[in-house]
Structure 1
Amino acid sequence: MTLQYKPLAAMLAAMGFACPALADHVVTVNGGRPTSLPTQIPTTIEGITGAQVEDRINAFDSEDALKYLPSLNVRKRFIGDYDHAVLASRASGTGNSARSLVYADGILLSNLLGNGATYTPRWGLVTPEEIERVDVLYGPFSAAYAGNSVGAVVDFQTRMPSKLEAHAKLSWAGQDFEQYGTDSRHTGRQYSASLGNRAGALSWWVNLSRLDSDGQPIGFANKLLSSGVTPKAGEPAGVPVTGAIADRNPSGKDWYILGSTGQVNTVQDHAKVKLAYDVSPTLRASYTMGWWQNDVVRSVESYLRDSAGNEVSSGAINIGGKRFTLLPSDFAGARADLEHVMHGLSLKTHGRGSFNWEIAGSAYDYSRDLARVPTGGGRGNLTDMGGSGWNTLALRGNWRAGIAHQVEFGAQRESAKLRTHVTSLADWVAGEGGKHVSTFNGNTRLESLYAQDTWRLSPEWKATLGLRHETWRAYGGEISGAAGKLLPFSDRREQAWSPKAALAWRADEAWTLKASAGRAVRNPTAAELFQGSIVDDKIVNTDPNLHAEKSWTSELTAEHMTAKGSRRVTLFSEGTRDALYSQPLTSTVNTVQNVGKIRTRGLEFSQQADDVFTHGLALQGSLTYADSEIVSNDAMPSSVGKRQPRVPKWRANMLASYHVGQHWTGTFGVRYSGKQYGTLDNSDPNGSTYMGVSDYLVADVRLRYRFNRQWTASVGIDNLNGEKYWAFHPYAQRTVSADLKFDL
């Protein structure tokens, strides 16, 4: 099957319809696959095809496909950012990774072992070249998904050939980075190859890739000016140094920037094998195996120099007559050796009868996960998370009682296992074994039953009612300190109901009005629940009664569609009780605690159109306003009335793509995010500095040339205007990329 896609066609293709092209330049995709999202529910779903990503977006990582979708932002700091690329949505910021779900071919990629920057989706298990299409469901309006869907559900569908296919791609990117005392150049290279075919009842696909990326420094050693001490007579004054850069921290306090840290070199290898066998004309068995390996080196550079010009990175120093002490952690490099494996297996019917079913299971395993950091004097700590991972099992049914009635139901189980063991090493780079430092373990399990009923009440009216019941368990939590004695946490068990509803009215051939509402219960992750420290053989600094987040979300949409475009306006609202955030427990300790209530109200506008003003010019864009306010918070009263962290009031993007004949495509894009805060009490107004969260306006360009059916080449620039912007760490600055691709 050959489908021809234009911007408007993305949504129709999500429902399985082929859309003929209207212009002489088309993007052709063989063997198009529909989304697995519940498109029968009348609510907001946005999407983009893999062909459009290749044609218009500078994509090194799979999350780049989401770059221009409404209200979304992925906190990707550099190419290959594997541990901080959190997805933000309408009412969720880039610190809330557990408030969205990411799937690839039905396999869970979201890392629900914890919530935050270090528990990002496993984007590396999908390469851009594999993407057939990606779609996003905005909000918890489907009963088929857990409460983590409160922000968004992202569904990647990857290629499965209907005939012999072979692809190869070489990509390169480079940026010049200037910040504080750093003036450096960083490059990345990516090599990928794919091969697939269908022979009779068997289809198969193999994808191999390697990414070798040097990211810019993402951290900076610093000292508050107020922490300096004026030496008294007879006291050591410290080594006089130059090179410290005076700056102000996010709170507006004076500090010195002493050097850069966290300059990452990541070498990632990826392999994917997909098999599908048609047991019968209506029954298909599918298996997917993904393998990902990552070797990481994080480097540091001190700006400080003594009187002889030697670099200084340790000991007591003197800046402007004040003494400061450099700790081992100030200029600490790091190394990591990671190997993760995922499996997915499904058996699914796709007949034209009234009933279809599916059994699907997946597993994600931290086969090897070692991180090394120095602690001084050549010594260091080794953190081993091997054995961590998650698995899922789902049984689904779909009953079509005539053309106007469809019922979905199912049972699901999702289990997560967190294992963390820290030892000290005499040699932090190459040492093995070592003395026990700490252990942290915990498990969670979510068992769910759901059903949702969609009725076509009349040609103009459509309604969906859904209900989800969840039983959540947290068990096996334990922690130990250097003494090695494991202390247990209490097990937890909770149940919750989550109703859903949606209604659509088709006013005429062009206009449709839609309303959706749903409840979502986002349970604590193992890392959030099983937290604390040990004092006198007791666990302290923990909240054993941590509650689940409970959100009611609603939206009202007006949508206008024509043969050459669509426009959508959506009013949305979300009220969340017991939101999970890290807050001060004592004057010196922060732990995850519940925020009483956060209320978000907003407006989202989205538009896409073909042949605007001239033949071949396609435009798409969105504008989002979100007023997200902390309404109550007993744990931190100073935060009441303040904005939710990392949810800007204004977000916008625009992408213009112009096709010239059969060979050339030029694209220009703009992304904007307004002022944000990184703290609950908004005490960090200075966003344009290390640890700050800033607004930004960046422009991207891409030029693609198709030599013939087999060969294409592209060049592009992300952040064309060289914007310097932050989300605690600095984002990449102006980045030039180029790629060459062969398609058989």
Structure 2
Amino acid sequence: MRKMNAWRWLFCAALATAANWTAAYAGEANPDTQLPEVVVRGELPAVDPNLPAVHEGVTAKEIGETVNVVNSEDAVKYLPSVQIRKRYIGDRNSIIVTRTSGSLSSARSLVYADGLLLSNLLGNSYNFPPRWSMVPPEEIKRIDVIYGPFSAAYPGNSMGTTVLITTRMPEKFEAHAKVQSFSQNFKLYGTDSDYNGSQFNALLGNRHGDLSWFIGANHLDSHGQPMTFATLGASASTAGAGDTVVTGAYRDNDANGKPRVVLGATSIDHTVQDNFNLKLAYDLTPTLSAAYSLGYWQDDSDVSVQSYLRDPNGHPVYSGNVNIDGYRYSLAANTFQPGKRKEEHWMHGLSLKSDTGGAWDWQAVTSWYNFGKDEQRSPASALPAAQSGGAGQIALGDGTGWRTLDLKADWRPGLDKGTHQVEFGYHYDHYILDSRVFSTVNWLSGATAARVSAFAGDTETQALFVQDAWRFAPAWKLTLGERYEYWHAFDGSLSNAATTLGYSARSEGFSSPKASLAFQAAPDWLLRASHGRAYRMPTVSELFQGTINSGAIVNNDPNLKPEKAWSSEFTVERNLQNGLLRLSLFQEDVADALYSQTNVTVFPTVTSIQNIDKIRTRGIELAYQGKDIAVRGLDLSGSLTYVDSVILKNDKFPASVGKQQPRVPNWRATAVATYHQGDRLTYTLAARYSGRQYNTLDNIDSNPDTYGGTSRFFVVDTKVNYVFAKLVTASVGVDNLNNYRYYAYHPYPQRTFYVAVKIDY
């Protein structure tokens, strides 16, 4: 018989204990008493009170006091085991890092705003971040994070985390305006520059009887530090007589410990972004409301470069054969490649929701996200000639997007006793990807010409779910759920300049059972064991990318299997009257994990998205939050997480077996202290720590503390708020106060200063 590991035994033991303890406990307890699960914060979370999983949250007040917020994703950076891979202010690729998944697995997390899906599930990498920009920080009421795939109400992408953003609607006339500026001095290799930016936003709202509305606008102008650097491996070739003698190169070792030369800084992004948001809500009856949301976001991005190389006359060098210390290095035309990008995205959301508090409630939510314009331009020639135009390429993604529909009902039979609360519903999503690359005679302003390449495809998922939270005894609650998903991939195609080839359609169905048992051992003690199955379907880009060779598609597997996870969690929560202490043990066993890797079992080897046979992740998480600790006005929160994430089987790349899953650090910690000096002045000191992690499946990147590596970090942040009057609040803050230099392949921001003034009427 197959042996069960300790984590599965722990869960089964908890279920068995329920049968033994229930009769005795029920005989002693008052049958009309229902002990609530512990909640510390004064504001109720937006999650279902019967949610069978750990969840953490932060309110708008806490965000305003503790976090230097520019974009909405900043708000969650101090929550346990959550990290946002945000490389610079205005970064469009802000990926969620969870306790079981790294920043290379964007499709293993979900983000919703008022039930509208913001997750970009067109792909599974840093290029497919949630669309945080559709939610201005000023509209946020609170954010809640759910850990693990233990609720049947959410799809298998929830195997990492699910982020629920709740926005608010006005009860009377409101007007808000904020001006913010920020600056960092960034030093690395030959770069020593200030990178600055500013943000302006305004929000108006009111309520007229049954109608309430918000309208907001935001303008962000940000200069990011270099994201990449032009490098070449150390050369052994002697320079020739015609090679340009240059100075200014830097030498160091790459992430794998190999010597290299650093030639200059690239991908220096100046981004100008504008948001417009409209929200309308109407109370059709006292218990039935409708809401409409419109989001518009545009970005105008200009990517520049900086060459460190100088010829004998002091002029910058961008291409050609160069002589560095007597050795030849060949610089391609795209070694220092500038670029431009223009984007316009639209989102529409419509919801209808009942709130009777009786035996039945229901809601319907539908959304449409559309890439109205997505244009990226790059030159074919080298600088400085490319500054004035010339041939190049245009990559287009307009027409890409997704549509969703969610129908859900809550049934509460025996409402007076509260023994059962049943939730069931239907989900539909349709993802459309359309990516094309064309040549152009002028990369700055020319029209598209001949096609270079393209790939496209659709995926569609329909799901049914049911979940019952059964309080079968006063202190016991058993939650059982089931989710069935039917997935369909179709219309896939791949093109080069002359040929278009299609993919066969695929359809598969999956069933995901869930179970959770909670025991209120005492008024201040809660124990819960949860176990669940989750399937994460391959995304459009994972399925339909590749290349065409000799009339066939290669470097691609359209028959990729879905990721399949069994997740378990055992949690103990202790109410400390003015605080909450939580300890969670968790494990995730993933079969057929999707990663880009090289299949070394075939010749020639193939590098593509492939299934890894098995990855096991287990860990322990300790979290605390408390108010008025030691002295009145001092709030403390923090977390400590240890994770052991190991590749157990990978037949296509055996060198990775026994190695750590990429981008999942072994240790993480957060700590936040906020002191309220009266009603007007608050001080916050916060810290974030992340331990050793790897970029590669075989963990050969032995030099993490350099560009291209993925390093440890310990970062201290601070913020001070002062309310001058009821209408005016000023704040100053610093992120990375200790100026820690750290990397997730790209360099993260160094010490960054913030100043903001906000007017609230």
CA deviation map 1:279-310 (0-9, x unaligned): 11111111000000000011100000111111
* Equivalent in 417, 436, 441 of residue 456 of structure 2: 441
Instruction: Tell me by how many angstroms 1:322 deviates.
Output: 1.3
SS of the residue corresponding to residue 380 of structure 2 reads: strand
Partner Cα distance (1:406, 1:659) in 2: 40
With over 3 angstroms needed to count, the CA separation of the structure-2 counterparts of 1:583 and 1:316, relative to structure 1, is same
> Following superposition of structure 1 onto structure 2, how do residues 198-597 of structure 1 map, counting pairs within 5 Å?
198-226=207-235, 228-231=236-239, 236-376=241-381, 378-401=390-413, 402=415, 403-483=418-498, 485-585=499-599, 589-597=606-614
CA deviation map 1:706-738 (0-9, x unaligned): 112111000000000000100010000000001
The answer to whether the 8 A contact 2:144-2:163 is kept is: yes
The answer to whether the 8 A contact 2:660-2:697 is kept is: yes
Counterpart of 2:467 in structure 1: which amino acid?
Answer: Q
Instruction: Tell me by how many angstroms 1:404 deviates.
Output: 2.4
With over 3 angstroms needed to count, the CA separation of the structure-2 counterparts of 1:550 and 1:663, relative to structure 1, is same
CA deviation map 1:34-91 (0-9, x unaligned): 65433312320100001110111111111111110000111001111112x1101111
1:636 aligned residue: 653
Q: Which runs of 5+ in 1 are unaligned?
A: 1-13, 21-31
CA deviation map 1:81-137 (0-9, x unaligned): 112x11011110011100000011111111000010110111111121111100011
> Following superposition of structure 1 onto structure 2, how do residues 91-130 of structure 1 map, counting pairs within 5 Å?
91-130=100-139
1:738 aligned residue: 755
The answer to whether the 8 A contact 1:457-1:463 is kept is: yes
Q: Is 1:43 the counterpart of 2:53 in the alignment?
A: yes
Partner Cα distance (2:381, 2:422) in 1: 62
Q: Is 1:652 the counterpart of 2:669 in the alignment?
A: yes
Counterpart of 1:339 in structure 2: which amino acid?
Answer: E
Bigger mean CA offset, 532-541 vs 135-144: 532-541
Counterpart of 2:280 in structure 1: which amino acid?
Answer: L
Bigger mean CA offset, 457-466 vs 97-106: 457-466
Tell me how many residue pairs correspond in the alignment: 713
With over 3 angstroms needed to count, the CA separation of the structure-2 counterparts of 1:432 and 1:738, relative to structure 1, is same
With over 3 angstroms needed to count, the CA separation of the structure-2 counterparts of 1:309 and 1:588, relative to structure 1, is farther
The answer to whether the 8 A contact 2:393-2:440 is kept is: yes
SS of the residue corresponding to residue 129 of structure 1 reads: helix
Partner Cα distance (1:663, 1:304) in 2: 52
CA deviation map 1:134-180 (0-9, x unaligned): 00110001111110000000000112111111111111100000001
Q: Is 1:662 the counterpart of 2:670 in the alignment?
A: no
TM-score computed with the length of structure 1 as normaliser: 0.94
* Equivalent in 696, 712, 716 of residue 713 of structure 2: 696
Instruction: Tell me by how many angstroms 1:554 deviates.
Output: 0.7
Instruction: Tell me by how many angstroms 1:545 deviates.
Output: 2.1
SS of the residue corresponding to residue 157 of structure 2 reads: helix
Partner Cα distance (2:199, 2:137) in 1: 11
Partner Cα distance (2:606, 2:267) in 1: 25
Partner Cα distance (2:633, 2:38) in 1: 24
Partner Cα distance (1:445, 1:206) in 2: 33
2:90 aligned residue: 80
Partner Cα distance (2:341, 2:248) in 1: 30
CA deviation map 1:642-668 (0-9, x unaligned): 000010100001000000011110000
With over 3 angstroms needed to count, the CA separation of the structure-2 counterparts of 1:19 and 1:694, relative to structure 1, is closer
Partner Cα distance (2:222, 2:535) in 1: 38
With over 3 angstroms needed to count, the CA separation of the structure-2 counterparts of 1:245 and 1:466, relative to structure 1, is same
The answer to whether the 8 A contact 2:155-2:534 is kept is: yes
Partner Cα distance (2:83, 2:444) in 1: 35
SS of the residue corresponding to residue 65 of structure 2 reads: helix
Instruction: Tell me by how many angstroms 1:635 deviates.
Output: 1.4
SS of the residue corresponding to residue 457 of structure 1 reads: strand
Counterpart of 2:56 in structure 1: which amino acid?
Answer: E
2:64 aligned residue: 54
The answer to whether the 8 A contact 2:466-2:483 is kept is: yes
2:5 aligned residue: none
The answer to whether the 8 A contact 1:38-1:142 is kept is: no
TM-score computed with the length of structure 2 as normaliser: 0.92
Instruction: Tell me by how many angstroms 1:459 deviates.
Output: 2.0
Partner Cα distance (2:213, 2:458) in 1: 35
CA deviation map 1:228-258 (0-9, x unaligned): 5224xxx554111111100100000000000
SS of the residue corresponding to residue 614 of structure 1 reads: coil
Q: Which runs of 5+ in 2 are unaligned?
A: 1-35, 383-389
SS of the residue corresponding to residue 117 of structure 1 reads: coil
The answer to whether the 8 A contact 1:35-1:155 is kept is: no
Instruction: Tell me by how many angstroms 1:611 deviates.
Output: 1.6
Counterpart of 1:497 in structure 2: which amino acid?
Answer: S
2:4 aligned residue: none
Bigger mean CA offset, 371-380 vs 305-314: 371-380
Q: Is 1:166 the counterpart of 2:183 in the alignment?
A: no
Instruction: Tell me by how many angstroms 1:543 deviates.
Output: 1.4
The answer to whether the 8 A contact 2:565-2:588 is kept is: yes
Counterpart of 1:156 in structure 2: which amino acid?
Answer: I
Instruction: Tell me by how many angstroms 1:563 deviates.
Output: 2.5
Partner Cα distance (2:267, 2:324) in 1: 24
Counterpart of 2:213 in structure 1: which amino acid?
Answer: W
Counterpart of 2:701 in structure 1: which amino acid?
Answer: D
CA deviation map 1:185-222 (0-9, x unaligned): 01110101101111111111111101111010110000
Partner Cα distance (1:39, 1:683) in 2: 45
- TM-align CA RMSD: 1.5
With over 3 angstroms needed to count, the CA separation of the structure-2 counterparts of 1:127 and 1:16, relative to structure 1, is farther
Bigger mean CA offset, 609-618 vs 292-301: 609-618
Partner Cα distance (2:259, 2:136) in 1: 43
With over 3 angstroms needed to count, the CA separation of the structure-2 counterparts of 1:587 and 1:374, relative to structure 1, is farther
Q: Is 1:89 the counterpart of 2:104 in the alignment?
A: no
Counterpart of 1:439 in structure 2: which amino acid?
Answer: A
